[in-house]
Amino acid sequence: MKIFDLKYDRPFRDEFQALCESIFDEGFLTNHKLVSEFEEQFAKFQNVKYSLAVSNGTSALELGLGILNVKNKEVLIPVNTFIATYLAVKKAGGIPVLCDIEPGYFSISAKEIEKKVTKNTAAIIVVHIGGHISPEVKLVKKLCKQHNLQLFEDAAHAHGATLDKVTAGNWGAMAAFSHFMTKVMTMGEGGSITFNDQEAFEKGRSLRQFGMSPENSILHEHEGGNFKITEFQAALGLLELKRINKRILKRQVLAKRYFENLKGTNWNVITDTDGSKGSYYKQIIIPPVSREIVSQQLSRAGIPLTGGVYDFPLHQQPVVYNSLKDRDFPIASSFCAGHICPPCFPELELEDIDKVCQVLVSIEK
């Protein structure tokens, strides 16, 4: 079994080739018609008003933080996230403040926010870990209102995910998505930032292209960057959007199989509860034995573990560790050391999940 196994059928390949032909015919290779079409379609898919296509999920975060103007301001982020969340805050000139997580869906903890918010806090980033929107976001939203803070969703894992039928991208001021190769949909590299506010969207469009004035392309109004994507990436993105619902549904079906197979055992399979419907970018399981033992046993059966979310939280990362005074994040430390993410991607079949579960249950005995 592979860690991931992207497959493209003949009709997909033919459509992609036809779109590539149309790009060559048009003779305009970047940030053009297909990019606009992709942005419209992606906004529709996430049920938001606007989206911008950008070079990757990291630049979506950096661009969003630029719109929020967090320079010299504190941005509260969960300690359990990919390094990109932290780096984006630094690149945008902000001060990342690490917070512990809640134990349900491993998202930033509202209690921690209450402890760490100061007069210099500008924003909070909520990361939808593994593709689940945690009900905790409702408490976080309340706190944002109370303290006049901006809420930014790191939805890198959460294409199509909902909580109380509200889609990722509708919980805060904006949301950043990653379309990296292993994600729920991919353009090889790529990302999107989504908005419901027109002014933020327009500032984002300018920041994406060197801070260019919308009226005059040789005048620059903001300190922007180059976060654009090519027409070829947009072509891939458009085709991915045609199959994304089917692929998310398959992930959910596979995840349900993990849950059903391991029900009644002491393997804790994280599943949809409290109105959350996940994308299942990752199937998270808390095993009754150490990750090393699980990994060894699965590996003997030819089954790989995929990367955790995350194996090492930010405060254990060499690039972050020395800058911290407070390294006490008990919930994240315990979760990060003690969970696994077995394979769960749409190219797998139910029998594959059964095979993984058989090995897992045999470890329990």
State the residues that interact with ligand PLP by CB under 6 A: 56-58, 81-82, 84-85, 127, 154, 156-157, 178, 180, 191
Tokens of 151: 């809420």
Residue 308 C-beta: closest distance to ligand PLP, Å: 11
Give CA–CA dist 17/324, Å, rounded.
50
Residue 180 C-beta: closest distance to ligand PLP, Å: 4
Residue with Cβ nearer ligand PLP (156 or 353) = 156
Strand runs labelled E in the chain = 50-54, 74-78, 95-99, 121-127, 150-154, 162-163, 166-167, 174-178, 191-195, 268-269, 276-277, 285-286
Residue with Cβ nearer ligand PLP (81 or 283) = 81
Residue with Cβ nearer ligand PLP (288 or 304) = 304
Which amino acid is it at 194?
Answer: T
Residue with Cβ nearer ligand PLP (156 or 238) = 156
Kindly report the number of other CB atoms within 10 A of residue 294's CB atom. Answer: 22
For 129, phi and psi rounded to 5 degrees?
Answer: -65, 125
Residue 154 C-beta: closest distance to ligand PLP, Å: 5
Residue 54 C-beta: closest distance to ligand PLP, Å: 9
Which amino acid is it at 354?
Answer: D
Residue sitting closest to ligand PLP (CB): 57
Give CA–CA dist 80/329, Å, rounded.
9
Residue with Cβ nearer ligand PLP (157 or 291) = 157
Residue with Cβ nearer ligand PLP (343 or 357) = 343
Residue 157 C-beta: closest distance to ligand PLP, Å: 6
Residue 261 C-beta: closest distance to ligand PLP, Å: 27
Residue 55 C-beta: closest distance to ligand PLP, Å: 8
Which amino acid is it at 20?
Answer: C
Where do the H-state alpha helices sit in 198-329? 198-208, 231-262, 291-300, 318-321
Residue with Cβ nearer ligand PLP (53 or 254) = 53
What's the CA dihedral at 312, 313, 316, 322 to 10 degrees?
150
Contact between 39 and 205 under an 8 Å Cβ cutoff? The reply is no
